[in-house]
Amino acid sequence: MDTTGTLDEALQRLHTFGPERLGRLTNHAPMAVEALTTHGRAGAVHRWLDLYARKLEDFPAGSEPVTAVNWPSALGDPRRTADWIDCFGRELAERPWREVLTEWWPRLLPGLYGGSTHPVIRVGHAVRTLLAGEATEPRLAELGHGLGYWAARHRPIAAPAPLPGSGSAAAALDAVRPLAAQDGGFADRLPRVTGLPVWAATVTDPDEARRRLGELVRAATHRYATHGHGEETMLVHAATAPNAVLRSMPALPRALWVPSLRAAWTVSAAVTAMYAPRSPVAYAPPGPLTPDEVFERALAHGDEHVIKLADTALDVGDEPALAAALRAVDLSEPPGLG
């Protein structure tokens, strides 16, 4: 928990900018600065933001308010991003944040593929902060920005055909069939994911759902060490998207845990199908390092996805997860070099 006030300062600074740039690329800064402060790097936040500032665009203009009556027609319309963020700002000013999250989570969950999964990841970071400490105005506003971005980029998909599955999350991810044609961006590839292995489909107990989701996050994080070369940036989301759901579970009613597991599995498996390489490669990390040392290497690298995968790897906490974070450092081009 940040006690320096740096996170609130950074969020206030960032809320004058929009959640995207160039109409399609996500603003990762709110997620990255939350990870930095969580892991004791508050002193690096504003310096990192100064370097990231070239990737920020002004907050978009609104058109008309999103209301309790017209919200279904505005769902999934990125032109209404400002309207959605304003809507959640009003709701969070009037009601407890957990109440707002509980009402909207089942509405938004089917569309967590929108924005290449970044909106739900942003929400997961915001929820972690609120669960850890005081619900300050900037932190509540950040949840509103995340939920508004999710609503604006909401994108459901047709349920993939069930394919033969496996007992463990790791084996189920291994059973995912890579797309035959791995070209185009996330939005181009997603409709080609027509079948995914069945995993955890029979789970009905909320506690088992939470345990299975933790298993999935661990397996997807471990897998990055040997498969991240398929696409070093996008495969990060196979781990960070389900981890965002896992981080949000303590703030949600238990009745929502099972559907959350199913959605998290589908998105992690879909990202795996879209970007997985044809074969794994062995990876040996450069000697044993502590979690703090691994996170410091991610910060020194500077890329937002590297920082966020390291953040998830520290949640998992074992040596294979730390190796995955180091693999991201090795694979990813440092900011400003391309």
Q: Which of 297, 176, 189, 266 is nearest to 227 (CA)?
A: 176
d(CA 321, CA 294): 10
Query: pLDDT at residue 304 above 60?
Result: yes
Taking only the tens place, the pLDDT of each residue in 221-278 is 999 999 999 999 999 999 999 999 999 999 999 999 999 999 999 999 999 999 999 8
* 330 has pLDDT over 50: yes
Return the percentage of the chain with pLDDT > 70, whole number. 98
Mean pLDDT over each residue of the chain, to the nearest integer: 95
For the cut 80, the answer to whether the pLDDT of residue 3 exceeds it is no
pLDDT tier, 310 (very low <50, low <70, confident <90, very high otherwise): very high
- Give the residue, 181 or 103, on which the prediction is more confident: 103
Amino acid 4: pLDDT = 76
Question: What pLDDT was estimated at residue 288?
Answer: 84
Q: Is the pLDDT of residue 337 over 60?
A: no
Q: 3-state SS string over the chain?
A: CCCCCHHHHHHHHHCCECCEECCCEECCHHHHHHHHHHCCCHHHHHHHHHHHHHHCCECCCCCCCCCCCCHHHHCCCHHHHHHHHHHHHHHHHHCCHHHHHHHHHHHHHHHECHHHHHHHHHHHHHHHHHHHCCCCHHHHHHHHHHHHHHHHCCECCCCCEEECCCCCHHHHHHCCCCCCCCCCCHHHHHHHCCEEECCCCCCCCHHHHHHHHHHHHHHHHHHHHHHHHHCCCHHHHHHHHHHHHHHHHHHCCHHHHHHHHHHHHHHHHHHHHHHCCCCCCCCCCCCCCCHHHHHHHHHHHCCHHHHHHHHHHHHHCCHHHHHHHHHHHHHCCCCCCC
What integer pLDDT is reported at residue 1 of this predicted model? Answer: 64
Least confident of 89-93, 180-184, 225-229: 180-184
Please measure the distance between the N-terminal and C-terminal CA atoms of the chain and give it in whole angstroms: 34
pLDDT surpasses 50 at 324: yes
Structure tokens, 198: 């069945």
Position 219 scores a pLDDT of 98
What average pLDDT does the segment 177-206 reach? 94
From the list 149, 89, 144, 146, the residue with the least C-alpha distance to 122 is 146
Prediction pTM value = 0.96
Q: How does pLDDT run across 34-74, given as a tens digit for each residue?
A: 999 999 999 999 999 999 999 999 999 999 999 999 999 99
pLDDT band at 336 (very low <50, low <70, confident <90, very high): low
Q: What pLDDT digit, counting tens, does each position of 112-139 carry? A: 999 999 999 999 999 999 999 999 999 9
Distance CA 154, CA 112 (A): 6
Q: How far apart are CA 274 and CA 184, in angstroms?
A: 10
User: Per-residue pLDDT for 2 more than 80?
Assistant: no
Confidence of residue 220 (pLDDT cuts 50, 70, 90): very high
R_g over Cα of the chain: 19
pLDDT higher than 90, residue 313? yes
pLDDT surpasses 60 at 338 = no
Q: Is the confidence at residue 178, as pLDDT, over 50?
A: yes
Round to whole Å and give the CA distance between 6 and 45. 7
Return the amino acid letter for 212.
R
